[in-house]
A and B are shown apart, each in its own frame.
Chain A
Amino acid sequence: MSIGMSVEHIGADPHGDRGGPAQPLLTVRKLVKHFDLKKSFVETMMGGGKVVRAVDGVDFNVLKGETLGVVGESGCGKSTTARLLMHLIEPSAGEIVFDGETVGSPALPLREYRRQVQMVFQDSYSSLNPRLTIQDSIAFGPQVHGVGKRESMTRARDLLARVGLEPSRFAERYPHELSGGQRQRVNIARALASEPRLVILDEAVSALDKSVEAQVLNLLMDLKDEFGLTYVFISHDLHVVRYISDRVMVMYLGKVAETGPAEALFEHPLHPYTRALLSSMPSMDPDRRTEEAPLAGDPPNPIDPPPGCRFHTRCPLAEAICAEQTPTLAATGTRETACLIHEPGSRHTQTGAAIYAS
């Protein structure tokens, strides 16, 4: 088998880098997605009805070659953001710019964008067609983009080998014959088949057992180096995000709470929510167990998010002003945070106080 030789053409990127390494690969501006709740007849007539503010004005960049970790609790909008990035659902407002070109514009039609951006889903079983052999599943994407049947099959087998599944054993098997970890490897191979530049991993390792998770994380790191990929890694597991990410974005109720380089953010979180989230992690030290829960209650419902700062209902540092004034996501150096404490001129009494000074 000539794996090495044929993998080369997968790595080669015919649609080369346009804006140079300094230009972000992906820029998201004011992205909004509101879902209509099922309306009653009267509400339809009156034009009322409630909306779920799943993603409510999100701005961020994904730099070339980095791994951006996205963390947050249920209802924070991280999975909706992933689907918006893939254009699986239409944004209510906002703009996605890929390497300098607006997605959906004549310069970058959706179909071309989708070749360059791929996604790996959480549920390894439901993301593979049970009636297709795994090599057919992997070859489907390239075939859609006009790669011949023979060539796409060769590519599928090469990729299978690359993700650690021997093609002679696995290529013509069906998804139900594989274990969860093996299926997730197939999903990764499928995502790589159309030679993407950006891969969105939506809880891609969350359903796997710990020992298998480590195998898949290692694989993801290797593939990133080999194919020069950029990752958006969405997960609720803070350990994994810290391990794999270069930068981390923390979301809360459809908004960005904080972004920053992984180590800095984990060592010195700026936003009170990030702090609470980090100290909610079980300690792993039997002599220093957590004595008090950092936050009470559950995250509020995104149907009726609190006014002002969305976190003020649970925030230990909240003041009256937090219910009125919505903080803006402001940058200081490499870090950004949306908290009145860090906003010069806001009426929060602790503004400017070096409360997180280490």
Chain B
Amino acid sequence: MNEASQISATPIVSVRDLHVTFTGAKRPVQAVNGVDLSVRQGESIALIGESGSGKSVTLRSLLRLHPERKTRIEGRIDIAGHDVLALGNRALADYRGRVASMIFQEPLLALDPVYTVGAQIVESIRRHESISAADARQRALELFERVRIPSPARRLDAYPHEMSGGMRQRAMIALALACKPQVLLADEPTTALDATVQIQILLLLRELQRELGLAIVFVTHDMGAAVEVADRIAVMYAGRIVEEGSTREVIRNPRHPYTLALMQARADGAMTKGARLASIPGAPPDLAQLPVGCAFAERCVYAADACLKTRPDAVELGDNHRARCLRTDATAGVLGTRAEALTKVAALTESS
């Protein structure tokens, strides 16, 4: 596989110092605190994090989906030459769906229950382009074939509730692709699906990325799903990207203690039966009262005094791998050695 050759050099998605604050509650909630992100054409990036890490908030900011009155967005978002935060209402409506579009976790909530899926796709195409209904329907049919819906002509006339979960998710992807966007935003698209269906959708996303040259920003809490789809992984914690790098680097050689702990807390990875899982003590910080220093410091086994006082900047670890941590020296090779040991053990047992 050489996805790299298809990935252009200039970023199509560029987020600079994004801050999102929700002001609706009693105390303002700082959901996103300085996120920098760039995605190139044809590249897929996974935003990984737990609930409250700001991954979905970041994603929704790219389409400006947050209620304007209760949200303060600062920073800069450029997507395919559009200054997203400066778009007027008309321009924003035109931008959504045509430049960037989104798929959601629960298609049943995102699709309109009173129209057939085909009608929704046709409507979406004709809102952005002046083409005849018949042509739009032809396009919808092609899209259904594209996302591999069996007997597509018949399924175009189905209502969302008449489709199975996996089929609905495919239909929503078709709807998202209706106006040939360059950027596809995916918010936990496979979380609600069964295991055997999830892998099908993940593979479909990968195929679309490769064949249509889509840039994909994929939000998930599932490390495994991210590995299947993403070229790069960005790990979020308390509204910041704490570690970013190629999927291979982040998985094999995580350097931020949080990523490291997440990898170690997984119940797979050839765990000996009965051995305790490595868990992260405590709970994520309150976003309305973020600590002065590193937000993870309280739960971090590597934390030093300095971690409580300063918010760490990104440390370059080479090969586009960055971590916002003061103790990257201590985390070097921690997982690597263990993984190597495990592969050795596995190789031994296999040969015997």
Contacts and interface: CB of A to CB of B under 8 A. Distances in A.
28 contacts: A73-B195, A74-B165, A179-B283, A209-B51, A209-B221, A210-B221, A211-B262, A212-B279, A214-B278, A214-B280, A236-B194, A239-B268, A244-B267, A263-B273, A276-B196, A280-B198, A281-B199, A282-B198, A282-B224, A282-B227, A283-B224, A283-B228, A286-B246, A287-B248, A290-B202, A293-B196, A298-B164, A298-B167
A211 B261 CA distance: 8
A243 B203 contact: no
Nearest to A276: B196
Contact of B266 (A218, A238, A239, A285): A239
A218 B266 CA distance: 12
A277 B135 CA distance: 40
A297 B166 CA distance: 7
B110 to A, nearest CB: 18
Interface string B155-192: 00000000011110000000000000000000000000
B265 interface: yes
Contacts of A244: 267
Point out which of B196, B224, B276, B277 has the most chain A C-beta atoms below 10 A from its C-beta. Answer: B196
A292 interface: yes
A298 B248 contact: no
A28 interface: no
A71 to B, nearest CB: 9
Nearest to B163: A298
A104 interface: no
B335 interface: no
| Chain B residues touching A, range | 35 or more
A210 B268 contact: no
B81 interface: no
Given A217-B267, A286-B227, A293 B199 contact: yes
A27 B267 CA distance: 29
Given A213-B267, A286-B252, A290-B202, 7 more contacts: A214-B277, A240-B267, A242-B268, A282-B228, A286-B247, A297-B164, A298-B194
Interface in A131-146: none
Nearest to A314: B196
B45 to A, nearest CB: 14
A305 B204 CA distance: 27
A74 B194 contact: yes
B99 interface: no
Contacts of B195: 73, 236, 238, 277, 280-281
Contacts of A284: 223-224, 227, 251, 268-269
B194 A289 contact: no
Interface residues of A, number: 46
Contacts of B281: 215
Contacts of A317: none
Chain A interface main SS type: loop
Contacts of A217: 267, 277
B311 to A, nearest CB: 21
A212 B268 contact: no
A286 B228 CA distance: 7
A73 B198 CA distance: 11
A40 to B, nearest CB: 18
B212 interface: no
A294 B196 contact: yes
Q: A-B pairs with the 6 shortest C-beta distances?
A: A282-B224, A214-B279, A73-B194, A298-B164, A211-B280, A209-B50
A24 interface: no
A212 B274 CA distance: 18
Contacts of B23: none
A90 B274 CA distance: 36
Interface in A62-82: 73-74
A299 interface: yes
B53 to A, nearest CB: 9
B133 interface: no
B142 interface: no
Contact of B273 (A243, A276, A292): A243
A295 interface: yes
A296 interface: yes
A80 B224 CA distance: 28
A299 B166 CA distance: 9
Point out which of B167, B195, B248, B283 has the most chain A C-beta atoms below 10 A from its C-beta. Answer: B195
Contact of A280 (B196, B222, B267, B268): B196
Interface string B266-309: 11110101101111110100000000000000000000000000
A228 interface: no
Contacts of B102: none
A283 B136 CA distance: 39
A301 to B, nearest CB: 8
B284 to A, nearest CB: 8
Nearest to B225: A282
Nearest to A289: B228
B8 interface: no
Contacts of B268: 239, 242-243, 284
